[in-house]
Amino acid sequence: MICATLDDGTPDGQLARVSEDRTTCRIAPGMSLQAMLDGAEPAWSGPECRFDPAACLSPLPRAYQFLDASAYVNHVALVRRARGAEMPESFWHDPLMYQGGSDGFLAPTAPIEGDPEWGMDFEAEVAVITGPVRMGATPREARDAIRLVMLCNDVSLRALIPGELSKGFGFVQSKPACAFSPLAVAPGALPGWDGGRLHGALRVDLNGMPFGRADAGHDMTFDFPALISHAAKTRALAAGTIIGSGTVSNRDSDGGPGRPVAQGGAGYSCIAEQRMVETLLSGSPSTPFLQPGDRIRIWMEDAAGVSLFGAIEQEVAAWP
Amino acid sequence: MICATLDDGTPDGQLARVSEDRTTCRIAPGMSLQAMLDGAEPAWSGPECRFDPAACLSPLPRAYQFLDASAYVNHVALVRRARGAEMPESFWHDPLMYQGGSDGFLAPTAPIEGDPEWGMDFEAEVAVITGPVRMGATPREARDAIRLVMLCNDVSLRALIPGELSKGFGFVQSKPACAFSPLAVAPGALPGWDGGRLHGALRVDLNGMPFGRADAGHDMTFDFPALISHAAKTRALAAGTIIGSGTVSNRDSDGGPGRPVAQGGAGYSCIAEQRMVETLLSGSPSTPFLQPGDRIRIWMEDAAGVSLFGAIEQEVAAWP
């Protein structure tokens, strides 16, 4: 099953089922994706229409829960190295995860509004939507609870993060609204899905130039079932919970920090990582954070070049 | 307006309007509190029925957002003092706030299930529900966005907090599902509401004995409009956002850490604070955290003894 949510002016939008070739769709009139996840049976009685990704909201325009992890521990290790800090050994065994804001996600093509002083960055991620998960669920049970897979642009405000994290309570102001891909796809309809990870290049272009081609199936230290089980240790998770992978990040073949796409590497899934590598190699970063007018595009393709989830395509707008 | 949500088997429950004397209610058939906050007009067409707090879910059984603050900085200062740490001066000017789980709240009378090894504690708080808040809203705008006021038991797992916070990303496992009072009351229907704070004793009994009588209007360093404006700095807040005050905590009249109710003091709104005061006074804590069978009751009364929000009444149950 391939789902999308069309903008019909309501907070939860209109659920649509999209054809396998991603060109047409049918709606289940009056139903939202959350309602389907809650157990309602959709009646796909709408006429077959052309599917227009530009008419889409994020598959869940708002959700009851978004838990975002840092499952690519390579990314965390790089962040620490760039600032000369040691990463605790436990980070390789105990997932890092934060409770993210979920009350209103950006549409896949909505502008990212913010003050350039905040150090705006994108983070390209894979995310899953779960059904209900019982408290104490094992990774095996968690695996069976994965309903849909999508891509995420987890917008981050780099200039606000150090001050906020130093207070000890995680992110609030430094993680504004993020966006998801137009399509949310059932695991069974994704050839690259191995039950826990999604294999394939996560494509990121910045201003039309290739920026990231990291393989989402590589170097993911904790797979989605492990992340979901971690989240469910002390509480049940409701249907419609979104679990994010954190910034996708690949080690270079020599185990090093990797190279930009232009130099034949897999590149990066956020500007901060490219800046960290620049800092490690030359002592200071040279790539600026996002500025008004910058355009970010995030997508994945199958072997035949089909855009699996449609594309997140956002432009940065000055605010206020 | 006084609202409650009755358990009708659906995830969002059935919205009811409760009479001023809290004895009867009428439902708006098929409508949830979230739908009303989203702008739907409720038709209170149900027959007048006896209001039964035991039939209630939390006013929002699930929410798109729960941001919990630590607005009683006295509480934070005590925590730090008890472990010999300095509290940054900035904590008096910059609110401490975390993104809490909101995908499924406990009913006001539902058991608290958990492993006693986790160090289960209650935290009695005041919370508000907002309408939509624009990004960058001033405290003045935020004040006008407050729709309803309620009480919260923010369950905390003390044994899991240090390890989780040391990872730097805030609370996930250490803050399981919390519970809210049966009634959510419009600010205009609360004589103790001054536009930003709720005045009056927040009553907490543990196993039938008075444990806390702190005044929620005293020593609240940041009022709700300041907290909401803080949360909205970099993003809009959706209608139905819950903002918690954090554990209510009063200084003693001499500026000290306060005394238990049994010794004539205002007592405490969580076990951790009583244990901190015990540690400060005698070198070690003597009050244990919650054990299976313990009963916690949280409520507020007006001058005439009317229970303003009904009572959160929860018993601790062993798990698994």
Q: What is the pLDDT of residues B3-60, one digit of tens each?
A: 999 999 999 999 999 999 999 999 999 999 999 999 999 999 999 999 999 999 999 9
Q: Confirm if A107 and A312 have CB atoms less than 8 A apart.
A: no
Chain A residue closest in CA terms to B176: A235
Q: Looking at the partner chain, which of A38, A64, A167 has a beta carbon nearest the beta carbon of B96?
A: A167
With a pLDDT cut of 90, the percent of chain B lying above it is 87
Mean of the per-residue pLDDT values of chain B: 95
Q: Is A310 left (phi over 0), alpha (psi -120 to 50) or beta?
A: left
Q: What is the pLDDT of residues B132-142, one digit of tens each?
A: 999 999 999 99
Q: Which two tokens stand for residue B195?
A: 């536009």
Q: What is the pLDDT of residues A107-136, one digit of tens each?
A: 999 999 999 999 999 999 999 999 999 999
Instruction: Read off φ and ψ for residue B111, nearest 5 degrees.
Output: -65, 155
What single-letter DSSP state applies at residue A224?
H
Question: What's the pLDDT score for residue A75?
Answer: 79
With a pLDDT cut of 90, the percent of chain A lying above it is 87
User: Residue A309 and residue A299: Cα distance in Å, rounded?
Assistant: 7
Question: What's the pLDDT score for residue B39?
Answer: 97
Q: Side chain identity at B270, as an amino acid letter?
A: C
> Residue for token digits 């430094």?
A174
Q: Looking at the partner chain, which of A38, A88, A170 has a beta carbon nearest the beta carbon of B98?
A: A170
Closest CA to A226 of A122, A128, A120, A319: A128
Mean per-residue pLDDT for B202-226?
97
Q: What is the C-alpha R_g of chain A? A: 19
Question: What's the pLDDT score for residue B253?
Answer: 76
Question: What's the pLDDT score for residue B82?
Answer: 72
Question: What is the nearest CA distance from A132 to chain B, expressed in angstroms?
Answer: 10
Q: Side chain identity at B241, as an amino acid letter?
A: T
Element (H, E) at B273: helix B271-282
Closest CA to A300 of A213, A239, A231, A242: A213
Between chains, do B99 and A236 touch, taking CB under 8 Å as contact? no
Q: Which two tokens stand for residue A233?
A: 């240790």
Confidence category of residue A314, pLDDT binned at 50, 70, 90: very high
**Burial environment of residue B299 by CB neighbours within 10 A (0 to 12, 13 to 18, 19 or more):** buried
Q: Confirm if B72 and B248 have CB atoms less than 8 A apart.
A: yes
Question: What's the pLDDT score for residue A207?
Answer: 98
Question: What's the pLDDT score for residue B281?
Answer: 85
Burial B56-85, CB ≥16 within 10 A → b, else e: bbbbbbbbbbbbbbbbbbbbbbbbebbeee
By mean pLDDT, which of A88-92, A257-261, B161-165 is the weakest? A257-261
Q: Looking at the partner chain, which of A94, A99, A240 has a beta carbon nearest the beta carbon of B171?
A: A99
Please confirm whether the linkage preceding A320 is cis (ω < 30° from 0): yes
Instruction: Read off φ and ψ for residue A14, nearest 5 degrees.
Output: -110, 120
Confidence category of residue A65, pLDDT binned at 50, 70, 90: very high
What are residue B18's DSSP bridge partners? B25
Q: Confirm if A46 and A34 have CB atoms less than 8 A apart.
A: no
Please confirm whether the linkage preceding B320 is cis (ω < 30° from 0): yes
Between chains, do A102 and B64 touch, taking CB under 8 Å as contact? yes
Between chains, do B99 and A97 touch, taking CB under 8 Å as contact? no
Q: Which two tokens stand for residue A149?
A: 């897979």
User: Residue A115 and residue A98: Cα distance in Å, rounded?
Assistant: 24
Closest CA to B67 of B269, B231, B216, B239: B231
Complete DSSP assignment for chain A: -EEEEE--SSSS-EEEEEPTTSSEEEE-TT--HHHHHTTPPP---SPPEE--GGGEE-SSSS-S-EEEE---HHHHHHHHHHTTPPPPGGGGTS--EEEE--S-PBPTT--EEE-GGG-EE--EEEEEEE--B-TT--HHHHHHTEEEEEEEE--EETTTHHHHHHTTS--STTS---EE-S-EE-GGG-TTB-SS-B-SEEEEEETTEEEEEEETTSS-SS-HHHHHHHHTSSS-B-TT-EEE--S-----TTSSS---GGGTS-B-SSHHHHHHHHHHHHSS--S----TT-EEEEE-B-TT--BTT--EEEEEEE--
Q: Is A240 left (phi over 0), alpha (psi -120 to 50) or beta?
A: left
Chain B residue closest in CA terms to A115: B234
Closest CA to A268 of A252, A282, A254, A245: A252
Choose from B37, B57, B64 for mutation: most chain A CBs within 10 A.
B64
Q: Which two tokens stand for residue A17?
A: 């089922």
Q: Side chain identity at B170, as an amino acid letter?
A: G
Between chains, do A135 and B157 touch, taking CB under 8 Å as contact? no
Confidence category of residue B123, pLDDT binned at 50, 70, 90: very high
User: Residue B134 and residue B167: Cα distance in Å, rounded?
Assistant: 32
User: Residue B289 and residue B120: Cα distance in Å, rounded?
Assistant: 6
Question: What's the pLDDT score for residue A79?
Answer: 73
> Residue for token digits 């039950």?
A195
Between chains, do A103 and B62 touch, taking CB under 8 Å as contact? no
Between chains, do B167 and A67 touch, taking CB under 8 Å as contact? no
Q: Looking at the partner chain, which of B70, B169, B230 has a beta carbon nearest the beta carbon of A98?
A: B169
Q: What is the pLDDT of residues B220-260, one digit of tens each?
A: 999 999 999 999 999 999 999 999 999 999 988 777 778 89
Chain A residue closest in CA terms to B136: A320
Confidence category of residue A87, pLDDT binned at 50, 70, 90: confident
Q: Does the pLDDT at position B131 exceed 90?
A: yes
Closest CA to A222 of A202, A255, A240, A196: A196
Q: Which two tokens stand for residue A57?
A: 């909201």
Classify strands A184-185 and A2-6 as parallel, antiparallel or unpaired. Answer: antiparallel
CA angle centred on A160, ends A154 and A165, rounded to 5°: 85
Please confirm whether the linkage preceding B288 is cis (ω < 30° from 0): no
Q: Does the pLDDT at position A146 exceed 80?
A: yes
Mean per-residue pLDDT for A230-244?
98
Q: Confirm if A35 and A211 have CB atoms less than 8 A apart.
A: no
Q: Is A237 left (phi over 0), alpha (psi -120 to 50) or beta?
A: beta
What single-letter DSSP state applies at residue A217?
T
Q: Which two tokens stand for residue A40?
A: 């309602």
CA distances from B19 to B51, B122, B150, B183 (A): 9, 29, 16, 11
Mean per-residue pLDDT for B303-316?
97
Confidence category of residue A62, pLDDT binned at 50, 70, 90: very high
Choose from B234, B241, B243, B290 for mutation: most chain A CBs within 10 A.
B234
SS3 B102: coil
Question: What's the pLDDT score for residue B169?
Answer: 94
This model of the complex carries an ipTM of: 0.96
Chain A, chain B: beta-carbon pairs less than 8 Å apart? 135
SS3 B263: helix
Question: What's the pLDDT score for residue B146?
Answer: 98
Q: The pTM is what?
A: 0.97
Between chains, do A320 and B136 touch, taking CB under 8 Å as contact? yes
Neighbours of B255 (CB within 10 A): 8
Question: What's the pLDDT score for residue B86?
Answer: 82
User: Residue B149 and residue B195: Cα distance in Å, rounded?
Assistant: 11
Q: Looking at the partner chain, which of B88, B177, B236 has a beta carbon nearest the beta carbon of A235?
A: B177
Neighboring chain B residues of A94 at a CB cutoff of 8 Å: 167
Q: Side chain identity at B256, as an amino acid letter?
A: G
Residues whose CB falls within 8 Å of the CB of residue B280, separated by 6 or more in sequence, listed in order = B78, B81, B82, B257
CA angle centred on A227, ends A149 and A300, rounded to 5°: 30
Chain A residue closest in CA terms to B97: A169
Question: What's the pLDDT score for residue B136?
Answer: 97
Mean per-residue pLDDT for B160-179?
95
Between chains, do A234 and B114 touch, taking CB under 8 Å as contact? yes
Q: Which two tokens stand for residue B205?
A: 């009994």
Neighboring chain A residues of B88 at a CB cutoff of 8 Å: 167
Max distance between CA atoms of chain B, in angstroms, equals: 60
Confidence category of residue B202, pLDDT binned at 50, 70, 90: very high
Q: What is the pLDDT of residues A19-60, one digit of tens each?
A: 999 999 999 999 999 999 999 999 999 999 999 999 999 999
Element (H, E) at B75: helix B73-82
Q: What is the pLDDT of residues B88-111, one digit of tens each?
A: 889 999 999 999 999 999 999 999
Question: What is the nearest CA distance from A191 to chain B, expressed in angstroms?
Answer: 31
